[in-house]
Amino acid sequence: MDTLLYIILIVIFLIIILANIAPGKYDVSRSILIKKPLPEVFSYLKLLKNQDNWSPWAEKDPNMKKTFSGVDGEIGFVSSWVGNKEVGEGAQEITDIINNEAIFSQLRFLKPFKSKSDAYLKVENVDGGTKVTWGFSGINKFPVSILMLFMNMDKTIGKDFEYGLNKLQKILED
């Protein structure tokens, strides 16, 4: 019986240590240059429905069911989805728009696990066009925070952002 108690105490101690060293926050972003005027790029980006044209997740489940509420391109617009295992289930709501600067939204994931993230699309004038930065950030809650010790969120999601931004560039520049 003493051995079982020691094993339980060691497991609890390990969980406490891992929870304390696990990353509490994440912020992943990627940028690309689009050779188009900023107002044209911003007008396209602020419409959430346009994300279906360049989002990597739309490709991962072409049969994803989507519903919308509100006016696209305005604060409060919600795009909800139910998809396969790769895209899960959730909603994205526009929470703030700074004209010709940024679009902020909240991502609410329901499946495969519940979580919330803050997403953003930022634009800025640069020589030759518009720099677009796509990213999201949030807080890793226990026990997901421990999983983040073994998963590189930047590499995993960053690849998807790069793929999507390249598609966006092709759409807007063609």
Q: How is residue 31 written in tokens?
A: 């940028």
Tell me if the domain spanning 2-173 has CATH number 3.30.530.20. Answer: yes
Q: What is the pLDDT of residue 156?
A: 73
- The verdict on pTM exceeding 0.85 is no
What is the pLDDT at residue 112?
A: 81
* CA-wise closest residue to 81 among 120, 118, 43, 55: 55
Q: pLDDT of the chain along its 174 residues, tens only?
A: 688 877 777 777 776 666 665 656 767 899 999 999 999 999 999 999 999 999 998 888 989 999 999 999 999 999 999 999 988 999 999 999 999 999 999 999 988 878 888 999 999 999 889 999 999 887 666 666 556 555 666 677 789 999 999 999 999 998
Tokens of 130: 């518009």
Question: CA-to-CA distance for 15 and 34, rounded, in angstroms?
Answer: 46
